[in-house]
Structure 1
């Protein structure tokens, strides 16, 4: 069940902005959406904090990169200042289940925690003759 509260809608909008190639290739734009205490366990297995993810983005910007596609985005407001999103992504055939926690800080929603877990789609059922 997806909550369609203004808080969830704001978190979804910001999550989609983070996945936009222009935002991903511009550390200044990306940084504005990260909480100062941001932590991520990436689909690669790496652990990231705010400074390390911004360093990587600044070192290898990808202007005009391919968009990351999303599916099944759902959200729930857990508290007045906390939203949990879950969704799947496809980045050039690399699939991952995603989970994000967004915290309201002042008047903005900022990404506080993110985790990506790679997955392989299930094999299709064989057709019966």
Structure 2
């Protein structure tokens, strides 16, 4: 989970070298925009940004061990009043954990003091 939080840190995101250390060579992302990114395109994007604002608010962070070297993390972020659901798969190789896959899904405007209409409980997929 530390690696995930590091990738959300504006200082880390401003450093392509730091981001590179945290991304698996086979990294893929489906961004909240709907775009598909690979490792090289993410590194190009981080290199092009001159200044990052504050990192997002992170809530509901949880992880599940899928295999000895594979972890699935889920969490939500809030930025500018918008909620995003996020899911990442981290893979350990050579003793180092790196993000293998990430998906961000827009969940709409955050509703103060209550659940969003997109929240579903009961384990339905």
Q: What is the TM-score normalised by the length of structure 2?
A: 0.84
Alignment of 1:101 with 2:89, yes or no, is yes
Aligned length: 113
Cα distance in 2 for residues equivalent to 1:94 and 1:62? 21
SS of alignment partner, residue 32 of structure 1: helix
Alignment of 1:72 with 2:63, yes or no, is no
Gaps of 5+ in 1: 1-11
Alignment of 1:21 with 2:10, yes or no, is yes
Q: Which residue of 2 aligns with 1:8?
A: none
Q: Which residues of 2 match residues 1-129 of structure 1 at below 5 A?
A: 12-63=1-52, 65-120=53-108, 121=110
Higher RCO (C-alpha under 8 Å, 6+ residues apart): 1
Q: How many Å apart are 1:31 and its aligned residue? A: 0.8
Q: Which runs of 4+ in 1 moved over 6 A?
A: none
> 1:26–1:61: 8 Å Cα contact kept in structure 2?
no
Q: What is the TM-score normalised by the length of structure 1?
A: 0.82
Q: How many Å apart are 1:122 and its aligned residue? A: 5.5
What are the superposed Cα offsets for residues 58-103 of structure 1, whole Å, 9 maximum, x if unpaired? 011325x211110000101000010000000012223210000000
